[in-house]
């Protein structure tokens, strides 16, 4: 059976996803029926031509306004006609995430790297689970944590096979990984904190406003997603990521500034970060911004921590890598570690496509 796919969000990740699906479109495994930006859309129940035609130009020239309601109706008709149908949400939209239950109740499966649905309130989370259970439509979200890395699937397998998850800890932000890999080395020396942040921004590793990375919210969202897969913690974070104990690295005096002003003034606080680096060096440690889920103490936190210079978090990371350690009953003496590129359009789109192919099982 051919899988009918509608894609919302065709920026870096969305465009790469289309590119990666082309061989599957050619072999009729996947039929792309819809493409949408925040303003415009294309839809064809029989499939859009994304192989031979310039779909980007066609989409930008479309006079059809983007409408989640219309898309829901169009995809619902395909489900009624017996088509296996999926919505690919490549946005970071709260509004689209809030509509997941309605798509699922219509029998439309959802694949997404959008962290909003699984890291917001418990009420939305349970509404999504209920809608999925009712119709059998599936929602898969591997790419919400670690892009294409097998983090969520690994945790699901550990739990499903009866392992006891004791603690999960990891460097979950590619941006913060890069910043502290450059700033806090085993040698204890390096460039100033502000200069590293500036370079990270210029390389496109940060959000347009670096404060959106430095505030730790992205890590808190990922911790929320993971904690809700652990039975003893699934109801702990009533307000989602807002309930996570989160240490922000944004100086109080810089809160509310524009991205450009933030970067230009961050150097005023270099001495503070230099003190943190020097303190870690005295203990033969490095600084890493990590997320920790301790199922034994019920602690879930995102914070700047010190790790020994011979710890994997100090020695194994490079660039914007993610690394996560699963401490479980079975993996007691040595944790199960997953590491690799945790950001980037190609690996994120791969994670989305991998989930999509699971719907063909």
Dihedral sign, CA of 266, 271, 274, 276? negative
List, in sequence order, every beta strand (DSSP E) within 252-341. 285-294, 299-308, 321-328, 336-341
11 is in an annotated binding site: yes
Asked whether 142 and 357 are in contact (CB, 8 A), the reply is: no
14 is in an annotated binding site: yes
Residues 6+ apart with CB under 8 A from 59: 10, 35, 37, 40, 41, 42
> Cα-atom radius of gyration of the chain, to the nearest Å?
21
Cα gap 316→177, rounded to integer Å: 11
Asked whether 169 and 323 are in contact (CB, 8 A), the reply is: no
12 is in an annotated binding site: yes
Cα gap 38→60, rounded to integer Å: 11
9 is in an annotated binding site: yes
Residues annotated as catalytic (active site), given as ranges: 222
282 is in an annotated binding site: no
Cα gap 175→348, rounded to integer Å: 15
13 is in an annotated binding site: yes
Would you list which residues are annotated within the binding site for NADPH? 91, 115
Would you list which residues are annotated within the binding site for NADP(+)? 9-14
Would you list which residues are annotated within the binding site? 9-14, 91, 115, 207
Would you list which residues are annotated within the binding site for L-homoserine? 207
């Amino acid at each position: 059976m051919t899988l009918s796919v509608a894609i919302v969000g065709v920026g870096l990740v969305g465009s790469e996803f289309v590119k990666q699906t082309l061989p599957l479109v050619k072999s009729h495994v996947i039929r792309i029926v819809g493409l949408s930006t925040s303003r415009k859309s294309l839809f064809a129940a029989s499939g859009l031509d994304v192989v031979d035609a310039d779909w980007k130009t066609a989409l930008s020239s479309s006079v059809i306004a983007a409408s989640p309601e219309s898309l829901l109706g169009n995809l619902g008709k395909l489900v009624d006609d017996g088509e296996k149908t999926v919505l690919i949400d490549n946005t970071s939209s709260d509004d689209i995430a809030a509509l997941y239950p309605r798509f699922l109740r219509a029998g439309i499966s959802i694949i997404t790297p959008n962290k909003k649905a699984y890291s917001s309130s418990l009420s939305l989370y349970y509404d999504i689970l209920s809608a999925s259970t009712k119709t059998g439509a599936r929602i898969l979200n591997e790419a919400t944590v670690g892009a294409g890395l097998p983090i969520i699937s690994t945790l699901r397998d550990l739990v499903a096979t009866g392992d006891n998850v004791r603690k999960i800890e990891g460097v979950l932000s590619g941006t913060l990984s890069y910043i502290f890999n450059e700033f806090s080395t085993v040698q204890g020396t390096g460039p100033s904190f502000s200069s590293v942040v500036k370079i990270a921004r210029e390389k496109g590793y940060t959000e347009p406003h670096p404060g959106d990375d430095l505030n730790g919210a992205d890590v808190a969202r990922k911790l929320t997603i993971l904690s809700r897969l652990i039975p003893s913690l699934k109801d702990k974070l009533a307000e989602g990521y807002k309930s996570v104990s989160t240490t922000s690295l944004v100086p109080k005096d810089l809160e509310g500034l524009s991205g450009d002003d933030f970067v230009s003034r961050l150097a005023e606080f270099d001495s503070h970060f230099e003190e943190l680096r020097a303190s870690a060096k005295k203990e033969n440690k490095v600084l890493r911004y990590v997320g920790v889920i301790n199922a034994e103490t019920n602690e879930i936190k995102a914070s700047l921590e010190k790790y020994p210079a011979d710890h994997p978090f100090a020695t194994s990371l490079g660039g914007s890598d993610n690394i996560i350690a699963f401490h479980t009953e079975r993996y007691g003496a040595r944790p199960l570690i997953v590491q690799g590129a945790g950001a980037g359009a190609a690996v994120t789109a791969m994670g989305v496509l991998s989930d999509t192919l699971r719907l063909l099982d």
